Amino acid sequence: MLPWGAVNHVGPAVRPGGSLGVRVCFKYFRSKRESWDALFGQAALFASGLGPERLISISHSCTDLDGVVTVWYWDGQPAPRPEGAGRE
């Protein structure tokens, strides 16, 4: 099995359609030994489980022999509002 990165949150964000407070998340798949087919296959399997309404995009990068595929998605849970948000 390939090593999986931690699920990370980058939010709060505005989702298309205007709903507020939904977090942008990412999960990465990284390997120096596995093929690109294996990396993208693991990322595609994870992304398929999210469903099209939660998937934002899939990106990739490579440094030397270290390949990384990242799945960006909406987590579907309200993000905590920043301190003072909604107050005047």
Residue 16 lies in a domain: yes
pTM across the whole model: 0.66
Pick from 51, 67, 49: which is nearest to 59 by CA? 67
Residue 88 lies in a domain: no
Q: Which domain holds residue 68?
A: 8-77
pLDDT tens for 33-61 read 999 999 999 999 999 999 898 999 999 99
pLDDT at 2: 37
Maximum alpha-carbon separation in the chain: 54
Pair 18, 46: CB distance under 8 Å: no
Residue 72 lies in a domain: yes
